[in-house]
C-alpha cells in the first residue's frame, strides 16, 4: 500500500504485545480461564464427572460474555486518551510514522494479547476435558474459542474508538464502563420492550421463546454480545441457553452473524482513526 509502512505497524504491534504480556494480570487471567473451564465442565457434568464440550460451553458462555469485554476494555481504554495524557504518544508520533500505522499497530498488538488469553485459558481447559471425557464436539469448541476471541476484538475496537474520542483517561474509562453496562443490560432492555409491546409473559416466564417477533431478532445485531452468543449457539446447534428455549429464524445464519461481527470490528476502528487523525495530542 502506497503511503503505509507495515514495518512501523508491526513494530508498534509487537511493542504493545510485549508490554502487556509482561503484565502479570494477563497470566493470572489465563489461569483463571483454565480453572473456569475445568470447573464449568465439572459442574455441567454433575455427579462428580466432567461434562462434554457442549455442556461446558453452555456453562462458560455467560462467564466469557462478562469477562472478555471487561478484559478488552481494561486493555484498550488507555490506548490513545491515556497515552496522550501521560505523554508516551508525543514521542511515538514525533517519529516518522503515520497515525494510521500507530492505531492499527496498537489494535493488532492488543488484539494478539486478547487472542492469547482465551487461547491458552480455554484451550488448555479444553485439552483437559478432551483428555477426560473425549473430544466430541471438538471443532465446535474451537469455534467457541475463535468466537470468544472475536468478541474480545469487537470490544477492543469499540474501546479504542472511545479512547480516540475522549480527551482524558478518566473519560475513556467512564466510556468503557458505560459500554460494558450497556452490553450487559441490552438483552433485558429488549425483553422489556418485547413484553411492553404485547409479548407473552407466559412464554417469557416459562422459558420458551419460540415465537419472538422479527424486530427482536433483528435488534440482536446492535449488540456485539448477543450476536456473538448467537453465533456460538449456531456453532453447537444449541436450542437452549440461559434457561430459555430459543428458535432463531433461518436468516440469522452463521455467515450473517460473522459478517455483523466484522462490522462491529471495522466500523468502530474506522471511526477511531477518523477521530485520532484529527486529534490534538
Binding site for another protein (CB under 8 A): 7-8, 11-12, 15, 18-20, 22-23, 86-88, 90-98, 278, 280-281
Sign of CA dihedral 270, 271, 277, 281: negative
- CB nearer to another protein: pick between 242 and 279: 279
3-class DSSP state of 65: helix
Distance CA(273)–CA(80), nearest Å, equals 11
Cell of 76: 484498550
- CB nearer to another protein: pick between 167 and 239: 167
- CB nearer to another protein: pick between 50 and 107: 107
- CB nearer to another protein: pick between 250 and 280: 280
The H or E element spanning position 137 is none
Residue 135 is classified by DSSP as -
Q: Shortest distance, CB of residue 91 to another protein, whole angstroms?
A: 6
Q: Shortest distance, CB of residue 163 to another protein, whole angstroms?
A: 16
**Across the strands, what pairs with 274?**
none
Q: Shortest distance, CB of residue 134 to another protein, whole angstroms?
A: 41
For cell 480516540, what's the residue? 164
Judge whether 235 and 147 are in contact, CB under 8 Å. Answer: yes
* Angle, CA 58 vertex, CA 56 and CA 61 arms, to 5°: 105
Task: State phi, psi for 257 to the nearest 5 degrees.
Answer: -65, -35
- CB nearer to another protein: pick between 35 and 88: 88
- CB nearer to another protein: pick between 19 and 136: 19
Q: Shortest distance, CB of residue 108 to another protein, whole angstroms?
A: 15
Q: Shortest distance, CB of residue 273 to another protein, whole angstroms?
A: 15
Judge whether 253 and 213 are in contact, CB under 8 Å. Answer: no
Q: Shortest distance, CB of residue 170 to another protein, whole angstroms?
A: 17
Amino acid at each position: 500500500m502506497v503511503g503505509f509502512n507495515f514495518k512501523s505497524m508491526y513494530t508498534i504491534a509487537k511493542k504493545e504485545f510485549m508490554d502487556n504480556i509482561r503484565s502479570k494480570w494477563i497470566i493470572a487471567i489465563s489461569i483463571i480461564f483454565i480453572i473456569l473451564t475445568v470447573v464449568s465442565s465439572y459442574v455441567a457434568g454433575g455427579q462428580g464427572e466432567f461434562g462434554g464440550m457442549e455442556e461446558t460451553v453452555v456453562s462458560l458462555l455467560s462467564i466469557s460474555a462478562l469477562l472478555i469485554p471487561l478484559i478488552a476494555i481494561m486493555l484498550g481504554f488507555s490506548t490513545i486518551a491515556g497515552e496522550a495524557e501521560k505523554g508516551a504518544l508525543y514521542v511515538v508520533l514525533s517519529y516518522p510514522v503515520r497515525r494510521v500505522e500507530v492505531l492499527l499497530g496498537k489494535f493488532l498488538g492488543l488484539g494478539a494479547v486478547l487472542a492469547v488469553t482465551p487461547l491458552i485459558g480455554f484451550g488448555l481447559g479444553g485439552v483437559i476435558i478432551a483428555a477426560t471425557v473425549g473430544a466430541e464436539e471438538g471443532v465446535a469448541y474451537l469455534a467457541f474459542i475463535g468466537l470468544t476471541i472475536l468478541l474480545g476484538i469487537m470490544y477492543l475496537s469499540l474501546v479504542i474508538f472511545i479512547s480516540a474520542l475522549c480527551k482524558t483517561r478518566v473519560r475513556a474509562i467512564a466510556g468503557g464502563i458505560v459500554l460494558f453496562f450497556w452490553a450487559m443490560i441490552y438483552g433485558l432492555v429488549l425483553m422489556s420492550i418485547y413484553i411492553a409491546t404485547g409479548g407473552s409473559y407466559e412464554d417469557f416466564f416459562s422459558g420458551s421463546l419460540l415465537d419472538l417477533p422479527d424486530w427482536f431478532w433483528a435488534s440482536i445485531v446492535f449488540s456485539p454480545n448477543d450476536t456473538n452468543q448467537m453465533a456460538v449457539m449456531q456453532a453447537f446447534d444449541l436450542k437452549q441457553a440461559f434457561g430459555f428455549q430459543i428458535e432463531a429464524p433461518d436468516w440469522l445464519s452463521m455467515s450473517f452473524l460473522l459478517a455483523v461481527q466484522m462490522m462491529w470490528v471495522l466500523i468502530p476502528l474506522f471511526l477511531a482513526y477518523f477521530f485520532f487523525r484529527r486529534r490534538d495530542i
